[in-house]
Amino acid sequence: MNPRLTFFWTLAFAALVAHQVYLWTGGLQVETDLLRLLPQGERDEVAEGALRALADSASRQVVVLVGGPDAATEAARFEAAVDASVLAPVPLPASPEDSLLEALLPHRDRLLTAGQRSQLAALSAEQLTERALLQLQQPMAARLGDFRDDPLQLFPEFLRERAQASRVRPVDGQLRVGDEVLLRFEVKGAGMSLGSEPRLQQALDAAKARVATDTTLLVAGVPLFAETASVQANNEVNTIGLGSLLAIILVMWLAFRSPRPLILVVLSVGTGVAAGLSACVLVFGKVHLMTLVFGASLVGVAEDYGIHYFAARQARPEVERHQLLELLKPALLLAMVTSVAGYVMLAITPMPGLRQVALFSGAGLAAAFLTVLAFFPFLDSGQVRSTRFSRVWAGTRAKWPSLSGARLAVALALVLLVAGVGIFRLRAQDDVRALQASPPHLLAAQKALAERIGLPSPAQFFVVRGADEGERLAREEALLERLDAFISEGQLLRYDAVSQWVPSPRRQEENRAVWAKARAAVLEGLKDELDGEAPPFIESEQLGVDAVLGTSVGAALRPLRLADANVVMLHSPSREALERFATLGALPGVKFVDRTGEISSLMRRWRVGMSELLVAGYFVIFAALWWRFRAQAWRALLPTALASLAALGVVGFLDEPFSLFHVLALWLLLGMGVDYGIFLLEHPDDGGEAWLAVGLGAVSTLLSFGLLAISSTQAVHAFGVTLGVGVTLVWLGSPLFVPLEAAPRPVRASPPPA
């Protein structure tokens, strides 16, 4: 009996209710971007900056490629039909090409493509002269400037070749990609909210219905993926939350046949979930959708304390309820601490998403525990009826077989053998791409569109650093020469880089020299044809990046140029190329950033690391159990250990890809599974009420976590399968190791402080 605890917890409860009212009346911000769950990677400010810039520009855009016999008309019709309050068209920049020409023209003698440089070096003076005349006889030669300045028309050729790198052209106020029209939209409204309605998809489908049937539409964009994930997760939250709530109500009703235990257990669980939500919002500002999916499963764990209390009340009507709670407290506390310890292990992983889950669950469990401790004896007046269901269930405890001696050894060997075979079959899968659950049609459209309009890979690129702009560009050029080898091998389609438009100062001087030599050769060859002295070679100043940023290519160049580094984007690199790119990091100032590969390797390291740590975790939990149960401690831990191995074995037999998430699920299993052993060891001589409480708890835990297995998100699914198998085995296996007659009373000399 602790009135002070009740008093303080009542205050905390009131604050919690107030916060929840605030949250549910509009203060709750739900994040749906799955990428936010991924680790930041090795801290590299520059690479992170580049990634952020890429992500920001991409995260709100939806693009539609319209094809068909009359693409221009249908595109206009489609654009007009899209609900602008959901997706607003992005306007085209006005008359872009002129400014680029004007920006580059004064520096034209400094601009050559790689092809031009090698060609000019290879041709003789006569060949150069012939080439100049050949161009002169072209009836359609749109010459730029005085013949004598640029007799070989190197500058128009440079422009033409550079322009071909981008397939998207503004024509008649539309963006054309070949015969097709590209439409760009931006998602309107303040981010995405937790919704079950696919608003974007509906807006696009409505517009789709308006265009001619022979029109082809390719739709892609990050918001569509986010929306699909959001709708999907929303359904999962509802299914899992509702499923586990119904499970609790069902088992509570069967066991107690009275509304009071039911209401109080739901109160403790509700307080737990609310506290988890509030804690996340207070610490992180908002809560991620995936946290809610996991949080829904918390329901299945948090009810254990309340159930345990009522099972004891039902079995011992003669004991005063405050006193009873004092007797239960050590076991409840130990169970809560071991469970929270399991969640704390999630918090130390590099994944921000799991940190939220850990906080949500840790705070939730603690709050549910405190609610039982502080409120239950006060609110639970009267008797808890005995029911036939409870008696039958409790009675099975006495009939449950127990293992010892040779039978124990044989059972252990058998479980280890079977689990071992399954574990041997495990296939590790750390590739984050495989863990995504995006619908195939969206992925296919995204890929097709990236190929058609030439989108670079957003997750793999080079970062080039240097003391100043000039050094960066020079180092970038050194890198590009190496990348050219990949292009000629067919391992890379092409790249986007600043130095393609603005060569390094040294390269500019070289180009100018090559240009001047070729021009002089042509003018010398045509000396007899020319009238008097040729005008002097144009004087030009060095071309700077800033001059080009203001033009139409500025939009394409800006993401490639960070405050103190350049980014080289890659188009369609092969897997082999990605593996070999890391070696290019040996070039001065060059770093290859492989976001996907980085996260995958991070996942692998954490999978291995957390697996090893799990063994250490068993020792820590064993120490905690030893403190209370001494030589009998192994009886509480062994079922969980065996169930974990068996769960791994099942994953192996199911041929599921084995990832970090399975290992993390085993951590949770350690925290929860040990509870069952604790409850049974604490009450070796009871009438089976601990067994009843464990069973009721396990069934509802199973229903809630087992429901995670239906999730289409691979990570959530992994939790569901591992915990579903694990919890079942711990529940059914625990009594095997706690024989009723053999178990001594636990040490009660030093109960932990309340």
Site string for another protein, 78-107 (x = CB under 8 A): -------------------x----------
In this structure, are strands 460-465 and 216-220 parallel, antiparallel, or unpaired? unpaired
Measured CA to CA, the distance from residue 649 to residue 469 in angstroms comes to 56
**Contact status: 115 vs another protein (CB under 8 A):** no
**Contact status: 140 vs another protein (CB under 8 A):** yes
CA nearest 218: which of 445, 60, 439, 62?
Answer: 445
Measured CA to CA, the distance from residue 307 to residue 725 in angstroms comes to 22
**Contact status: 536 vs another protein (CB under 8 A):** no
**Contact status: 147 vs another protein (CB under 8 A):** yes
- Site size for another protein, by CB under 8 A? 36
Measured CA to CA, the distance from residue 692 to residue 266 in angstroms comes to 18
Burial class of residue 394, CB neighbours in 10 A (0-12, 13-18, 19+): buried
DSSP 3-state of 561? strand
Segment 178-197, which members bind another protein (CB under 8 A)?
Answer: 178-179
Please report which helix (H) or strand (E) contains residue 103, including its range: helix 97-104
**Contact status: 216 vs another protein (CB under 8 A):** no
Calculate the CA 437 to chain-centre distance: 11
Segment 470-529, which members bind another protein (CB under 8 A)?
Answer: 526, 529
Q: Answer yes or no: are the C-beta atoms of 232 and 292 closer than 8 Å.
A: no
Q: Give the dihedral sign, CA 435/439/445/448.
A: positive
Name the minimum Å distance from CB 530 to another protein. Answer: 6
Q: Which residue lies nearer to another protein by CB, 39 or 106? A: 106
Name the minimum Å distance from CB 81 to another protein. Answer: 24
**Contact status: 160 vs another protein (CB under 8 A):** yes
Scanning 173-181, 633-641, 676-684, 690-698 for contacts with another protein by CB under 8 A, the matching segment is 173-181
Residue 119 neighbours by CB under 8 Å, 6+ apart: none
Scanning 146-154, 224-232, 377-385, 612-620 for contacts with another protein by CB under 8 A, the matching segment is 146-154
Name the minimum Å distance from CB 73 to another protein. Answer: 15
Measured CA to CA, the distance from residue 645 to residue 655 in angstroms comes to 15
Name the minimum Å distance from CB 604 to another protein. Answer: 41
Q: How far is CA 609 from CA 245, 345, 605, in A?
A: 35, 12, 6
Q: Which residue lies nearer to another protein by CB, 134 or 282? A: 134
Q: Which residue lies nearer to another protein by CB, 449 or 723? A: 449
The Cβ of residue 299 has, within 10 Å, a number of other Cβ atoms equal to 28
Exactly one of 69, 89, 93, 145 binds another protein (CB under 8 A); that residue is 145
Exactly one of 84, 141, 392, 412 binds another protein (CB under 8 A); that residue is 141
Q: Which residue lies nearer to another protein by CB, 143 or 748? A: 143
Exactly one of 52, 143, 322, 427 binds another protein (CB under 8 A); that residue is 143
Name the minimum Å distance from CB 446 to another protein. Answer: 21
Q: Answer yes or no: are the C-beta atoms of 698 and 304 closer than 8 Å.
A: no
Exactly one of 117, 162, 176, 329 binds another protein (CB under 8 A); that residue is 176
**Contact status: 164 vs another protein (CB under 8 A):** yes
What are 571's strand-pairing partners? 494
Exactly one of 14, 17, 114, 133 binds another protein (CB under 8 A); that residue is 133
Q: Which residue lies nearer to another protein by CB, 535 or 751? A: 535
Measured CA to CA, the distance from residue 709 to residue 236 in angstroms comes to 10
Q: Which residue lies nearer to another protein by CB, 136 or 283? A: 136
**Contact status: 139 vs another protein (CB under 8 A):** yes
**Contact status: 157 vs another protein (CB under 8 A):** yes
- Cα separation of the two ends of the chain: 10
Name the minimum Å distance from CB 116 to another protein. Answer: 12
Amino acid (one-letter) located at 476: E
Please report which helix (H) or strand (E) contains residue 330, including its range: helix 321-347
Residue 468 neighbours by CB under 8 Å, 6+ apart: none
Which residue pairs from 152-157 have beta carbons closer than 8 angstroms and sit at least 24 positions apart in sequence?
152/120, 152/128, 152/518, 152/519, 152/522, 154/108, 154/111, 154/112, 154/116, 154/120, 154/515, 154/518, 155/104, 155/105, 155/108, 155/111, 157/113, 157/116
What are 61's strand-pairing partners? 186
The backbone torsions φ and ψ at residue 112, rounded to the nearest 5 degrees and listed phi first, read -140, 145
**Contact status: 539 vs another protein (CB under 8 A):** no
Q: Which residue lies nearer to another protein by CB, 2 or 135? A: 135
Name the minimum Å distance from CB 152 to another protein. Answer: 12
The backbone torsions φ and ψ at residue 64, rounded to the nearest 5 degrees and listed phi first, read -130, 125
Segment 258-297, which members bind another protein (CB under 8 A)?
Answer: none
Q: Which residue lies nearer to another protein by CB, 147 or 400? A: 147
**Contact status: 406 vs another protein (CB under 8 A):** no
Q: How far is CA 672 from CA 265, 509, 710, in A?
A: 18, 70, 21
Q: What is the dihedral of CA 549, 553, 555, 561, to 10 degrees?
A: -50
Exactly one of 318, 531, 539, 741 binds another protein (CB under 8 A); that residue is 531
**Contact status: 448 vs another protein (CB under 8 A):** no
Name the minimum Å distance from CB 142 to another protein. Answer: 4
Q: Answer yes or no: are the C-beta atoms of 581 and 461 closer than 8 Å.
A: no
**Contact status: 69 vs another protein (CB under 8 A):** no
Exactly one of 36, 117, 169, 329 binds another protein (CB under 8 A); that residue is 169
Q: Residues interacting with another protein, by CB under 8 A?
A: 97, 130, 133-148, 157, 160, 163-164, 167, 169, 171-172, 176-179, 526, 529-531, 534-535
